[in-house]
């Protein structure tokens, strides 16, 4: 059976003071231990702060991107080994905002998956169609195309990563996929990847009020939460859902 995972993605938000308050608020709720993995993915510069504050707690820390390179002349990049070095064991790769604004290809995303796993960092690989794809009935094809280079890495690699289905039209829009729509895609993704054990998270306007109905679906193993992860109480209610 697959352990539930709820990950917050802070995106480009935060400050030392604000983070400190938010993380302390998360820490005062002990109910989140055993049955659910919980992590927060914060901007690079705040990773050491988050690691320090969450040390010894049940909440892990993740980054939002990673370089395909291990080291060298790559100005502005951060390697997976650097993440592991400071105690960051998770990383989001291939988020739609990286694909859209930084032209990340699915081949690059696959290279990031390997770079992360090489360093002992677990990648959360994001896929998801745009609204126009769904309107054209192409959502399954688009998502399979994004997954193809990941699947090509082999079953051994696939068993070590986490997938996240985030339909672009549901991100930050308040418009969530219905539990049925999400379940249908998760089922397709699981079948395509030929993996019973890979965890598939749903992302896209997940809130405390819709988390439970999403989590009730058999192939939805948790959530990748953007906006709602910036509010400690809301995020904790999603974890508890
Ligand atoms: P929202 O939860 O703000 O819609 O963002 C989802 C997301 O992109 C998480 O990675």
Q: What ipTM is given for this predicted complex?
A: 0.98
- Over residues 84-110, the mean pLDDT reads 97
Per-domain residue ranges of the chain: 4-240
Instruction: Confirm or reject: Cβ of 166 under 6 Å from ligand 1.
Output: yes
Contact in structure between 153 and 122 (CB atoms under 8 Å): no
Instruction: Confirm or reject: Cβ of 62 under 6 Å from ligand 1.
Output: no
Residue showing tokens 């985030």: 166
Q: Residue 29: what pLDDT?
A: 72
95 is catalytic: yes
Identify which of 168, 202, 203 to mutate to test ligand 1's pocket (most ligand atoms within 8 A of the CB): 203
The band of 239, judged by pLDDT with boundaries at 50, 70 and 90, is very high
Q: Residues 62-92: pLDDT tens digits?
A: 999 999 999 999 999 999 999 999 999 999 9
186 is catalytic: no
CATH topology of domain 4-240: TIM Barrel (3.20.20)
Q: How far apart are CA 126 and CA 34, in angstroms?
A: 25
Q: How far apart are CA 188 and CA 146, in angstroms?
A: 13
Instruction: Confirm or reject: Cβ of 221 under 6 Å from ligand 1.
Output: no
Its pTM stands at 0.97
Q: How far apart are CA 205 and CA 167, in angstroms?
A: 10
Q: Residues 3-47: pLDDT tens digits?
A: 999 999 999 999 999 999 999 999 987 665 568 999 999 999 999
With a cut of 60, say whether residue 138 has pLDDT above it: yes
Q: Residue 33: what pLDDT?
A: 57
Please report, for the chain, how many H helices and E strands are present, in that order.
Answer: 11, 8
Which residue, judged by its Cα, is nearest atom 2 of ligand 1? 226
* Percent of the chain residues topping a pLDDT of 90: 94
Taking the mean position of all CA atoms in its chain, how far away is CA 169? Answer: 17
């Amino acid at each position: 059976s697959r352990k539930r995972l709820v990950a917050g993605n802070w995106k480009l938000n935060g400050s030392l003071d604000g983070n400190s308050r938010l993380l302390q608020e998360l820490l005062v709720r002990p109910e989140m231990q055993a049955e659910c993995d919980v992590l927060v993915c914060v901007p690079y510069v705040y990773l050491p702060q988050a690691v320090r504050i969450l040390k010894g707690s049940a909440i892990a820390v993740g980054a939002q991107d990673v370089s395909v390179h291990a080291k060298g002349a790559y100005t502005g990049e951060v390697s997976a080994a650097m993440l592991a070095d400071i105690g960051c064991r998770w990383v989001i790769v291939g988020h739609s905002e990286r694909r859209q604004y930084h032209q990340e290809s699915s081949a690059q995303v696959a290279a990031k998956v390997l770079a992360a796993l090489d360093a002992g960092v677990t990648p959360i690989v994001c896929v998801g169609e745009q609204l126009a794809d769904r309107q054209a009935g192409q959502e399954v094809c688009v998502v399979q195309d994004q997954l193809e280079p990941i699947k090509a890495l082999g079953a051994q690699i696939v068993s070590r990563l986490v997938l996240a289905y985030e339909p672009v039209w549901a991100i930050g829009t308040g418009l969530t996929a219905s539990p049925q729509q999400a379940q249908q895609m998760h089922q397709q993704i699981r079948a395509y990847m030929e993996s019973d054990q890979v965890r598939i998270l749903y992302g896209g306007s997940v809130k405390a009020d819709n988390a439970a109905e999403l989590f009730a679906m058999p192939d939805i193993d948790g959530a990748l939460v953007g906006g709602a992860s910036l509010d400690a109480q809301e995020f904790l209610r999603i974890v508890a859902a």
